[in-house]
Chain A
Amino acid sequence: MNKSLLPYLILAGSLIFVAIFAEYLTPFDPYVQNLESALTPPNSVNLLGTDRYGRDVLSRVIIGSQTTLCASLLLLSVISIVGSLIGAICGYNGGKLDTILMRISDIFLAFPQMVFAVAVAGILGGGLFNAAFALAIIGWTKYARIARGLTLTIRSLPYIDAAKMAGTSSIGILFSHILPNIAGAILVTAALDIGTIIMELAGLSFLGLGAQPPTAEWGAMMNNGRSMLQTASWVILSPGFAIFITVAIFNLLGDKLRDVMDKKSVV
């Protein structure tokens, strides 16, 4: 493995570790209300202070990482896998299926992603699943386009002809030769996309279309604290800073991954 990638992998891995073991890492129960200590500024007990219901902000930020990161990564996995599969099938087979699916993707691409997601989530109603679904409906098109383009390049290479001449089935060629060869580019795109997805999910939650109270989710937490920006800024700044750090780490990881893959392809 490339050593320059290691620091970013460690940072991203730490975030994922926190998200997975969040329940064991929280100093207080993130959902227990204590109105007597509401809006306590950061101190030695509540390191990031408390919110308007007296819940420990640090605990909610930690448990919120579970919701935000898991939902984002799951959503990203689904749209990248489904999108890549659709793109690879279209690129390899061509024909009517390609035309129909690519025109559908053109329709989705014609809308600004966030506006479309807001509209879909608005129709479906609030909730993390609906927000993720709204983003998935429009998110797969990007991966389908990339996978299709890469497949069109690869399918004319000699080793695809060789696989055909060895009697390998179309499905075999797709899964053994095409998808493994486009996986690198898809992975880099996905790594660069994690930040965007986190932002979009948090954005929908911020607008009240994502995670619903009392679920701790960074966007929803910012939404809850937006009226207190001047009086109790820690309530909104803590989840905001968490989003900033997470997005920055995954973007840096994506950038580095792209550099490493580019070097490999040059070699």
Chain B
Amino acid sequence: MCNCGNNFLCNIFIAVELYFISRSRMDFRNLGIGVNLACVEFFTDTFCNADILAAKSQKNNFHTGGNFILFFCVLVHAVNIGRGGNFLMFEKILAVDEISIAYGGREIVSGVSFGVKHGEILVIVGESGSGKSTILKAIGGILGSNGAIMDGQIFFRDIEITNAPESIRRKLAGESIGYIFQNATASFCPIRKIGEQIFESVKAHKNWSREEFLQRAKIIMQNINLEETALEKYPFQLSGGMGQRAGILAAMILEPQILLADEPTSALDPETQSNVIDEFLKLRARYGVSIVMVTHNLEVAKYIADKILILKSGKMIEYGTAAEIFNFPQEEYTKELLNVC
């Protein structure tokens, strides 16, 4: 929240600055022309808002001109702050610092760092076996008995979750960190109904009645085009697309702050793929959720990502905004990947 005491000027400045940043990636912070530099620093550092990002998603390209919708949203929110409204801007939700992960003593991921802000979508791209899913599992704390974080730190907000005890993990899991699996259908227990399982995970965190759960589930189900009958079905009765949507419902029911999506589209046909990706953008727009998605599909990454991390054999090759990676790739490997794409 802006506390500079000069709301009007500050907000105008922020609106203009955010607009230019969004268009050109130029950083005006160092020019020293701000009315209140500290305030601007804070805003630009934490720039993100569900509506702004929704507008961005609609444009689907951060750099194309004519960002009137974006500018309008920025302006509305700047005014909103001036009125003491709740600007959904944010601090860093997830920070991964120089993390190294080993399976059975063999290093799979080494020295990977990245950060995700509120409402931001980070896509981790790399070929099979590059360690993409391993990173997500490490964040989720589900590396298994063979896997271990050898070095580095993972922070969720200001909580270190690198090797956090089960009690802390359990508190965050589901409620703050949602996880969507590559094969979402397989992420449901095969002998129990979908609704029963999701309700059970809700009960681990909230004291909701079944009616309240159903009410909330229905809203999300409508948003992601999932039939209500899905709750009464067993996992094997769902199609691939429905299974993936059920996975999204399970991950979103508690409205977590960050979604970890492990190749959520790889097992789907192109049409369902595109639907699921659109669902993610809608989720971000609606709930302001941050997303870390793993994929080997550069088209998907191009479509959805704010930031991209390129991995090869467990090492970070390149990390930057989607525009930087796609327009100005620095590394040979990235160029090769883009050429293949």
Contact = CB atoms under 8 A, between A and B. Distances in A.
Contacts of B200: 166, 168, 172, 176
B103 to A, nearest CB: 12
Contacts of B137: 161
Interface string A62-90: 00000000000000000000000000000
Interface string B164-190: 001001111111011101010011111
B250 A166 contact: yes
Interface in A149-183: 156-159, 161-170, 172, 176-177, 180-181
Given A167-B170, A169-B170, A172-B204, A162 B179 contact: yes
A156 to B, nearest CB: 6
Interface string A129-167: 000000000000000000000000000111101111111
A163 B170 contact: no
A165 B186 contact: no
Contacts of A94: 145
B181 A164 contact: no
Contact of A165 (B171, B173, B183, B205): B173
A167 B173 contact: yes
A112 B73 CA distance: 78
* Size bracket of the A interface: 20 to 34
Contacts of A162: 179, 181, 187-188, 250
Nearest to A183: B191
A166 B204 contact: yes
A166 B183 contact: no
B201 interface: yes
Contacts of A181: 189-191
Interface string B136-171: 010011101100000000000000000000100111
Contacts of B175: 167
A94 B144 CA distance: 11
A165 B188 contact: no
A159 B188 contact: yes
Contacts of A165: 140, 142, 173-174, 177-179
Contacts of A164: 140-142, 169, 173
Nearest to B140: A165
A166 B183 CA distance: 16
Contacts of B192: 176, 180
Contacts of B169: 164
A163 B201 CA distance: 7
Contacts of B173: 164-167
Interface residues of B, number: 31
Contacts of A169: 170, 204
Contacts of B179: 161-162, 165
Given A94-B145, A177-B189, A181-B191, A167 B171 contact: yes
B145 A166 contact: no
Contacts of A156: 144
Contact of A158 (B145, B171, B177, B181): B181
In this complex, the member of A164, A165, A169 whose beta carbon has the largest number of chain B beta carbons within 10 angstroms is A165
Nearest to A93: B145
A158 B189 contact: no
Contact of B186 (A158, A170, A180): A158
Contacts of A168: 170, 200-201, 204
A136 to B, nearest CB: 29
A176 B189 contact: yes
17 contacts: A157-B186, A158-B181, A158-B186, A163-B189, A164-B142, A165-B140, A166-B201, A167-B173, A167-B204, A167-B205, A168-B170, A169-B204, A172-B204, A180-B189, A180-B191, A181-B190, A181-B191
Given A166-B204, A168-B204, 20 more contacts: A94-B145, A159-B188, A161-B179, A161-B187, A162-B187, A163-B189, A163-B201, A164-B141, A164-B169, A165-B174, A166-B173, A166-B201, A167-B170, A168-B170, A168-B200, A169-B170, A176-B189, A176-B192, A176-B200, A181-B190
Interface of A: 94, 156-159, 161-170, 172, 176-177, 180-181
The 7 closest A-B CB pairs, nearest first, are A166-B201, A162-B187, A167-B174, A165-B179, A167-B173, A166-B174, A161-B142
